[in-house]
């Protein structure tokens, strides 16, 4: 399978050195847009090519195409809109054909956008089309409404000097992961998306996938998440102790994805797979309730959406796994395909269950998670 970027070419909209200094001087006389953490993440991901073929924030035509048809105007499958929003006051200073400074939450210049259009999006239509609900209790819908309806489109340049991931030693760009795969001689790579510590069911899925590919990219999302999700620094410690003890080290890589969670379920599964193709992966694990939240999506809805899009155009193989559990009968991880055990002999695992146990001060049992990971989690929750 080709490891070409989505749409053909890996986008690079980063600026540094003399160009970065030039942008700072220019920005001093430009109208400005204050962006929050999630839009800063999108800006970064556009700039380093993780969202190729996008070279900037979407216009109204692209927004409508993604919301209504789950594809870009050029026909490529696409899961979620990537939008830059601004306040009404900020919008009054913007002119198509002009430029605007994009200011990070700390007040520093993050980048510049060539303004192509300013328009209003339909928040209700986007909520229903992308999230499948208009319920404000859904975190993605709540974020959508918080960001507002006024949007700015156009190509961007990125010059923010601070590593937004919080893990600079693990924040590899798509160009860097591709180089690392080539150095290892990997031609087939499976990516694993997670916003939780890796429990036993995750480990089982990863190692099943590793049997058919050269290497595994554990690619945790470390951008903005819900307040009750386990913090990224705790999760990273869990990943490191797990890899050190239970994985073949020359078959696995750990790198972070500084993206914001949208909790868009099936639509976000497509979004996540596209980014992993741009990072150089050929396969992508799609498990139970991928990118889900609450009861908004069916158990396997995120897998089923891949049957309704152009898989050939997507160019990355989704690996669809059944709900895995610890089987008391066989005393190992299994699924309904591999274990004859009845319901009473199946111990189902989930990040939510682990978080609930930790919040009550209970140690997750070995059927849930490796003891070294449980040690890290218990220490963090006691703290």
Catalytic residue from among 178, 196, 262, 277 = 196
- List of residues 6+ apart from 10 with CB closer than 8 A: 49, 52, 174, 175, 178, 278
Residue 144 — φ and ψ, nearest 5°? -55, -50
Residue 34 — φ and ψ, nearest 5°? -85, 125
Distance in angstroms (rounded) separating the CA atoms of residues 89 and 108: 20
Does residue 145 have an active-site annotation?
no
b/e 74-105 (16+ beta carbons within 10 angstroms → b): eebbbbbbbbbbbeeebbeebeeeebbbbbbe
What stretches of the chain show up as alpha helix (H) in DSSP?
Answer: 17-27, 37-48, 60-69, 88-92, 123-126, 139-147, 174-184, 200-210, 232-246, 266-278, 301-304, 311-314, 351-359, 371-382
Does residue 196 have an active-site annotation?
yes
Three-class DSSP category at 57? strand
Catalytic residue from among 64, 121, 178, 195 = 195
| Residues tagged active-site | 195-196
């Amino acid at each position: 399978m080709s490891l070409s970027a989505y749409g053909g070419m890996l986008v690079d909209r980063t600026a540094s050195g003399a160009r970065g200094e030039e942008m700072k001087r220019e920005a001093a006389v430009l109208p400005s847009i204050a962006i929050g953490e999630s839009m800063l993440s999108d800006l970064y991901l556009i700039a380093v090519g993780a969202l190729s073929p996008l070279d900037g924030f979407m216009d109204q035509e692209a927004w409508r195409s993604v919301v209504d048809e789950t594809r870009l105007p050029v026909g490529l499958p696409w899961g979620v809109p990537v939008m830059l929003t601004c306040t009404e006051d900020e919008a009054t200073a913007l002119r198509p054909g002009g430029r605007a400074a994009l200011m990070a939450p700390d007040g520093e210049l993050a980048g510049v956008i060539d303004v192509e259009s300013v328009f209003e999006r339909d928040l209700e239509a986007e909520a229903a089309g992308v999230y499948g609900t208009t319920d404000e209790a859904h975190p993605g819908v709540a974020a959508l409404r918080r960001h507002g309806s006024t949007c700015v489109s156009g190509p961007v340049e990125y010059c923010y000097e601070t590593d937004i991931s919080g893990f600079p030693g693990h924040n590899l760009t798509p160009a860097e992961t591709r180089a690392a795969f080539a150095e290892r001689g990997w031609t087939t790579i499976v990516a694993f998306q997670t916003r939780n510590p890796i429990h036993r069911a995750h480990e089982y899925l990863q190692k099943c996938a590793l049997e058919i590919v050269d290497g595994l990219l554990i690619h945790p999302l470390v951008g903005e998440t819900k307040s009750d999700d386990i913090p990224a620094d705790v999760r990273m410690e869990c990943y490191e102790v797990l890899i050190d003890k239970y994985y073949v080290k020359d078959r696995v890589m750990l790198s972070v994805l500084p993206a914001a969670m949208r909790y868009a379920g099936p639509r976000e599964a497509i979004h996540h797979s596209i980014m992993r193709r741009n990072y150089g992966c050929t396969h992508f694990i799609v498990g139970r309730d991928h990118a889900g939240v609450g009861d908004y999506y069916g158990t396997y809805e995120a897998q089923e959406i891949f049957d309704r899009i152009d898989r050939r155009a997507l160019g990355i193989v989704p690996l669809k796994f059944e709900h895995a559990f610890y089987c008391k009968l066989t005393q190992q991880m299994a699924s309904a395909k591999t274990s004859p055990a009845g319901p009473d002999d199946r111990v189902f695992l989930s990040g939510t269950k682990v978080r609930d146990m930790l919040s009550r001060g209970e140690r997750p049992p070995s059927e849930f998670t490796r003891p070294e990971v449980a040690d890290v989690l218990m220490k963090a929750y006691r703290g």
